[in-house]
Amino acid sequence: MKKALLAATVVASALTASLVAAPVATAASASTGWDLPWSNHHSRTTSIPFTEATVTADAGGTFTLKWKAQGVRRVEIKANGKVVAKGGVQGTAVVSGLPAADRQWFDFKGDRGEGLRLADRHIALDGAVNFRDAGGYRTTTGRWVKMGEVYRSDALDKLTAADLAKLQRLRVKNVFDLRMTSERTSAPDKVPAGATYTVADVFAGSGSFQTLPKSPDEAVKAMVDAEKAMVGGEGGKKAYRQVFEGLERDRDRAVLFHCTAGKDRTGWANAALLTALGVPADTVMADYLASNDYRKAANDAILSHLPAPQAAVYKPMLDVRAEYLNSGYDEVKAEYGTFDHYLEDGLGIDARELKQLKKDLLVG
């Protein structure tokens, strides 16, 4: 990875962190239709009847609940131990009047099968806009990624005392910082009391970064090449190995990994985790692209302060785009052949450890 190309990603992340805007409440779903033909998924019978289920926190303290289920006649949803919604195999409900909470949880239960515990994926904080849960997704085998176990975020240096207290109550025990030395020095992390802090520098050893792209096309190429470096670079392999080993080792979660904008280095970490757990490719892509929604206000503020020609160059670096993430998967295929081989040979996660990770993080 050339130094000049990595410079774009690092500087764009630093610019993104310079303005903090109000969090966007929800992210739009997106489906790209791409797949991972080299991944092996084995069918199984799931005990959770829900094929779709989401919780969205709306303005004014209301929540929109949506679900689809198979093999049941009735669905009942509880919050704080009380029934707040009922319906059939498919439904939508709007719930209001619940007491204030750090995070409102809902228990979805059909008249058959296991239940499902969900919350809005986004965690509202004063000092971060892209802090969200990695879970709440259904896998290709019908299991679900647990929520409240793994979080992803943008920079933590602007967290308030109230934010830190909230994260402590949410049991954030381990924090992995994916940023470079310069980023960590200029904007040191604030972590919850009692949490273990680990540096997992994705671009470690890549040298100093001095130049920026001069055109939008160069900026796009920089982002594509940076994504490939996250997969194939020695710093990236070591950093993501640290994250995966931390996830597999730490049974007393929650674990948090983050970078500056929470979209590129963090985006690959989460995409790799979800792919390893068996989440469908279009769902992984939607989760990745959601950073465009969560970061929209902050990114728009940055671009509004730049002359139009400069804004045109910076916009590709502030965005997340399907071609960026796909370049990471292309690098996996080119270097390792299969995603399982990337996990084992690149990150040191063997079949036994992957099985344990699935046991810990999946339900159903």
Give the active site residues. Answer: 259
Burial class from Cβ neighbours inside 10 Å (0-12, 13-18, 19+) for residue 352 reads exposed
Bridging pattern class, strands 255-258 and 174-177: parallel
| Strands laid side by side in the 90-95 sheet | 50-57, 63-69, 90-95
Among 356, 322, 363, residue whose Cα is nearest residue 139:
363
Among 15, 1, 3, 49, residue whose Cα is nearest residue 316:
15
The CA distance from 182 to 208, in Å, is 9
Among 68, 49, 206, 30, residue whose Cα is nearest residue 112:
49
Amino acid 217 reads D
The CA distance from 68 to 31, in Å, is 18
What is the token pair recorded at 233? 């670079």
Residue 256 CA neighbour count, 13 Å, CB half:
28
Bridging pattern class, strands 196-199 and 174-177: parallel
DSSP code of residue 114: -
The DSSP line for 34-78 is ---TT--------S--EEEEEEEEPGGG-EEEEEEESS-S-EEEE
